[in-house]
Amino acid sequence: MPSYDLCIVIPTLNERENIALLLEKLRFTLHDIRYEVIVVDDDSPDGTAAAVKTLSRTQSDLHVIHRIGRRGLASACIEGMLATSATYIAVMDADLQHDETVLPEMVRRIASENLDLVVGSRNIGGGSMGDFSTWRVRLSRLGRRLSGVEKHAVLTDPMSGFFVVRRTFFEQIAHRLTGIGFKILLDIVLSAQGQIRIGEVPYHFRLRQHGQSKLDLIVGLEYLELILDKFIGSYISVRFVMFCLVGAIGTVIHLLLLGGLLDLARFSFIESQASATGIVMILNYVLNNSFTYRDRRRRGTAFWFGMLTFSIACSLGGVANVLISGEAFRQGMPWPLAGITGLLFSAVWNYGVTAMTTWRRARRSAAQRAERRAQATALPESKDAEIQPSVPAIDTNR
């Protein structure tokens, strides 16, 4: 078995048209470096994994980690990075936006200056954002300020998804990574305790040739989640905070609806309160299903069944809320305190119960899993792209 100096981890989601070209370019640029490539694909509908597997049949230094039922750029990178024993690990996008020709310089720097990390930067002399849209440039700057990363290290482009790390350094901090969202580099830097030796190499960010960017609203929210997790994650679950946030939004909407139904629609109080409760319950379910539990999102019939269990759990929580706060009030607790006690109880109850019912992770018995595996491998090779195993829900957030 050869030992590699460099492993290039490439996360992919629908990059079928880009990946082969990138691999070719790497071969051309890195001719005198011993390297391997690990592509981490999240079961791209366009068949990226199958395409790379076909190539790897003739290239022993090309590997695929084909993940099913998982999503997330950061967690994909981490998994790829943990799968190698090479001395240095590079992470780069598949879409040719990262300039592969600076890789040899990055490797030279990390080795000769004994650094932990070398980052491809668009913000130092000789680098640029290319034709990145202005809102993305602004977003990138905002993210940088928000993270407080400037305090941690000399890093001009912490949003960069293009960098090389020393494997031993990465493994030291790997257990502390959150693995949430898009910002793997930031995750690494914020997770490193003590001094971290960083170098930067400029490059020009290129335009995407094929396919689309996956950066969207959810990714923005995930970014906030990552920052939140870094600051409060060891004390309280970020998922719980998000659940409460959704609850708080629901409460505001509830009050608006209640007022509207009473004043404008001239419903009775009971009718208004009942309608508002029903609507907000559904809204909360949809929001939690889309954001708080997006990694275990329920779709199709599971969506409707989930709405049912969510409603039942939260109704019980509501009843308990009223009973507990009522009792506390009777015992002489001031009303705001009694009200908050009831609310807190139902928040914890609703979160706990829906985590175990509505968004419980699907588990299969070992026998069922073995049977599925046998079925999958029994299919002929050429059918690779058509195998659609049902999705085992695995938690991407740790």
Q: What is the binding site for Mn ion (CB under 5 A)? A: 93, 95, 97
Residue 167's alpha-carbon distances to 38, 45, 110, 210, in angstroms, are 14, 31, 11, 31
**Closest to 216 in 3D by CA, of 296, 291, 120:** 291
Alpha carbons 129 and 335: distance in angstroms, whole number? 56
Residue 91 β-bridge partners: 9, 163
Residue located via tokens 């912490």: 158
Name the residue with the smallest CB distance to ligand GDD. Answer: 161
Could you tell me the smallest distance in angstroms from the CB atom of residue 143 to ligand GDD?
Answer: 8
Nearer to ligand GDD, 67 or 166 (CB): 67
- Residue 15: name its binding partner from Mn ion, ligand GDD, none (Cβ under 5 to 8 Å by kind): ligand GDD
Distance of CA 346 to the CA centre of its chain: 28
111: closest CA among 215, 180, 37, 33?
33
Is residue 132 a contact partner of residue 176, using CB atoms and an 8 Å limit?
A: no
Closer to ligand GDD by Cβ: residue 51 or 73: 73
Tell me the closest approach of the beta carbon of residue 214 to Mn ion, in angstroms. 8
CB of 204 to Mn ion, least distance (A): 14
159 binds, among Mn ion, ligand GDD, none (CB under 5 to 8 A by kind): ligand GDD
Residue (177 or 343) nearer to ligand GDD, CB: 177
Q: Which residues contact 256 (CB under 8 A, 6 or more apart)?
A: none
Identify which of residues 119 and 196 has a Cβ nearer to Mn ion in the complex.
119
How far is residue 104's CA from residue 153's CA, in Å, rounded to a whole number? Answer: 23
The C-alpha angle with vertex 127 and arms to 126 and 130, in degrees rounded to 5, equals 130
Question: DSSP assignment of 258-284, as one string?
Answer: HHHHHHTS---HHHHHHHHHHHHHHHH
Which listed option, ligand GDD, Mn ion, none, makes contact with residue 42 (CB within 5 to 8 Å by class)?
Answer: ligand GDD
Considering beta carbons, is residue 132 or 329 the nearer one to Mn ion? 132
Instruction: Return the one option of Mn ion, ligand GDD, none that residue 40 interacts with (CB less than 5 to 8 A, by type).
Output: ligand GDD
Annotate 343-358 with b (16+ C-beta within 10 A) or e (fewer): bebbbebbbebbbeeb
Our CB check for Mn ion shows the closer of 209 and 375 to be 209
CB of 27: closest distance to ligand GDD in angstroms?
18
Task: Give the shortest CB-95-to-Mn ion separation in angstroms.
Answer: 4
Minimum gap (Å) between residue 272 Cβ and ligand GDD: 43
Q: And the tokens for 314?
A: 């939260």
Distance CA 295, CA 161 (A): 22
Nearer to ligand GDD, 91 or 110 (CB): 91
Q: How far is the CB of 4 from ligand GDD (least distance, A)?
A: 21
Binding partner of 311, given ligand GDD, Mn ion, none, CB within 5-8 angstroms per partner class: none
Q: Which partner, Mn ion, ligand GDD, none, binds residue 191 by CB below 5 to 8 Å per kind?
A: none
Measured distance CA(302)–CA(319) in Å, rounded:
26
Q: For ligand GDD, give the closer residue by CB, 55 or 279.
A: 55
Report the partner that residue 179 touches, choosing among ligand GDD, Mn ion, none (CB closer than 5 to 8 A by kind).
Answer: none
Q: Which is nearer to ligand GDD, 143 or 247 (CB)?
A: 143
User: CB under 5 to 8 A by kind: which of Mn ion, ligand GDD, none does 50 bind?
Assistant: none
Chain contacts with ligand GDD (rule: CB under 6 A):
11-13, 15, 40-42, 71-73, 76, 93-95, 97, 140, 159, 161, 182, 213-215
12 binds, among ligand GDD, Mn ion, none (CB under 5 to 8 A by kind): ligand GDD
Contact 31, 60 (CB under 8 A): no
